[in-house]
Amino acid sequence: MPSRENAEVCVIGGGVIGLLSAYGLAASGVSVVLLDRQQVGAESSWAGGGIVSPLYPWRYSAAVTALAHWSQDFYPHLGEQLLAETGIDPEVYVTGLYWLDLEDEAEALEWARRERRPLRQVDMAAVQQAVPALARGFSRSVQMEDVANVRNPRLVKALRAALLKLPNVTLREQCAVTGFIREAGRVRGVRTAQGDIHADRVVVAAGAWSGELLKGLGIELPVEPVKGQMILYKCAEDFLPSMVLAKGRYAIPRRDGHILVGSTLERAGFDKTPTEPALASLRSSAEALLPALANAEVVGHWAGLRPGSPEGVPFIGPVPQHEGLWLNCGHYRNGLVLAPASCQLLADLLLERAPIIDPAPYAPAGRLR
């Protein structure tokens, strides 16, 4: 006979957004059931690069900027907290980031002045000295020295371990949601093959799959999968001391010498099969940035599905006409960047606390079809 379970909040989706949503709510004393249709963190949260900044922060709206700034300032604390609680280090690694030959460099510098962010022009001779592996031929550079990257698979592992230590959290993996429970016009939980889960609130944090889930309630959520492919090289630990970005492609160093290069932007539905043309394109970009990678070992090539949304602005908050239903999804290319602020904002709204930032730009009201 199928089981029945009760919780104050049911979170659908175990990516970094779902994990951090559950973690923040549970830390406030809320009982939480977290569901994932496979293992937590196995989709976009695992597949991404982990730069703790939008790739081109000045090209985004104030709504994305507000979440990004709060999260960037919070990430070092989050990394230390998770290491202390679980013994797993998410490796929040401050390397800085160089942008090379930007077409909109003047706009970038003006944005930095306005937002008081430490972006500055750097002479190319100084860049070549700091990053000897960088290809010759670039003429201009701007840098932010305080940009970090987080090792996202380790972040997911640490969050999972932290949740398993909390007595008011139930984690259910391999547990796909098949529908919603509605009573008297209110969402009261979800249906799964393993049984019904009743909850006072249901939070949809299912990344690229969020729109598909909500169709069952007649809600048109403009979130769709956008495929991205990456490759991973193994190099010496001191090969690349800083992240570098040119022509839309980036290289990210990990502490142990692994170098991530990404990424493609493809609209291919829910197909996340890695392809040979993408691999060839990524290798070409990698070698144009860092010529020595032509002789480096490629140890991985994979694809993930980003939750594409209009202008990359996530949906955070309650859904009108569906009392009890909440969203924290649609972060597009910036899920890892925006996660701490997005999940703090969700918890603030759900628990009726003063929100960390103005919640209006993210509210589902007026943005759903």
* Rounded Cα gap, residues 258 and 276, in angstroms: 21
Which tokens is 111 given? 């944005």
Residue 9: per-residue pLDDT: 98
Residue 5: per-residue pLDDT: 81
Alpha helix (H) residue ranges in 87-172 = 105-115, 124-130, 152-164
**Which domains does the chain carry?**
3-47+155-223+311-362 (3.50.50.60), 97-145+224-308 (3.30.9.10)
For the stretch 341-352, pLDDT in tens is: 999 999 999 999
pTM of the model: 0.95
Residue 58: per-residue pLDDT: 97
Residue 4: per-residue pLDDT: 59
For the stretch 105-145, pLDDT in tens is: 999 999 999 999 999 999 999 999 999 999 999 999 999 99
Residue 251: per-residue pLDDT: 97
Residue 279: per-residue pLDDT: 95
For residue 182, the surrounding DSSP H or E stretch is strand 177-183
Residues of the chain predicted below pLDDT 50: 1-2
C-alpha distance across the termini of the chain, in Å:
38
Residue 261: per-residue pLDDT: 97
Residue 2: per-residue pLDDT: 45
